[in-house]
Each structure stands twice: as C-alpha cells, then as structure tokens.
C-alpha cells in the first residue's frame, strides 16, 4: 500500500471522516540537527464531527521521543521513542510493543480550542 493510501486510512480513522484532498511533500532532511531534549507532551487541535477538539498527549517515560531542531526555519523533528499513531491518536508502547498509558504528571489547565488568542 502506498503512503498516500496509508495516510488517507489514518486520517479517516482519526478524524472520523473521508479526507477531501491529499498533499505530497518533498522534504529535504538536514544532515545535522540540534538536540533540544525529551518531548514530555504534545498538544494539538483538530476537528471531530466538524467541531474543534483539543488533544493533549503526555508521553510515558519509555515512550518519549527526543525533540530536535533543524538549522533552518520551521524545522522541528520528533525522533525516537516508542509510540505510533492510530485512530485513537498517539499511542505509547512499552518495550514489548503493547499500548500503555502515561500517568498524569503535569497540571495543564483545560483550554477551549474555539477561543483563539
């Protein structure tokens, strides 16, 4: 199965709707990146059933990827870690490849994704 079909399948599982369009990106990866440190959590806004939904994922300790910055503008990379993305979103994995949930470690207040500042 090609990457476009895999991406469409993942989009449909996660967003619960058919993708309307697809994009191909030709990315030139840098030969060197600067290590910033372990990524403890990631937050993003998406839509489900036409409504904004905020996702905040805290990585389990063995699943944390490392955040790196490329030398150019707009270049951030998550490299390594034990996780994959499914219809549920980001899923952490233990050393045997089984899904695990991270204990809550951060006191992050709820944000309403409809209110932009």
Q: Where are the domains of the chain?
A: 31-117
pLDDT at 117 over 50: no
Position 22 scores a pLDDT of 80
Position 99 scores a pLDDT of 94
Greatest Cα pair distance in the chain: 42
Nearest residue to 102 (alpha-carbon basis) of 59, 66, 64: 59
**In whole numbers, what is the pLDDT of the chain averaged over residues?**
87
CB 68 within 8 A of CB 35: yes
Q: What is the pTM (predicted TM-score) of this model?
A: 0.77
Tell which wins on pLDDT, 113 or 15: 15
**The token pair that represents 93 in the structure block:** 């994995």
Average pLDDT over residues 5-19: 89
Average pLDDT over residues 16-32: 85
pLDDT for 51-103, tens place per residue? 888 888 999 999 999 999 999 888 999 999 999 998 888 999 999 999 998 88
d(C-alpha 33, C-alpha 69), whole Å: 6
Average pLDDT over residues 104-109: 78
pLDDT at 9 over 70: yes
Position 87 scores a pLDDT of 85
CB 50 within 8 A of CB 63: no
């Amino acid at each position: 199965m090609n990457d476009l079909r895999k991406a469409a399948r993942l989009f449909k599982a996660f967003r619960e709707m058919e993708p309307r369009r697809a994009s191909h990106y030709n990315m030139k990866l840098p030969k060197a990146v600067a290590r910033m440190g372990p990524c403890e959590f990631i937050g993003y806004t998406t839509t489900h059933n036409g409504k904004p939904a905020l996702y905040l994922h805290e990585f389990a300790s063995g699943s944390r990827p490392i955040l790196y910055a490329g030398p150019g503008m707009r270049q951030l990379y998550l490299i390594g870690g034990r996780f994959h993305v499914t219809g549920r979103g980001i899923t952490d994995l233990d050393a045997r490849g089984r899904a695990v949930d991270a204990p809550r470690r951060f006191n992050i207040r709820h944000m309403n994704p409809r209110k932009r500042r």
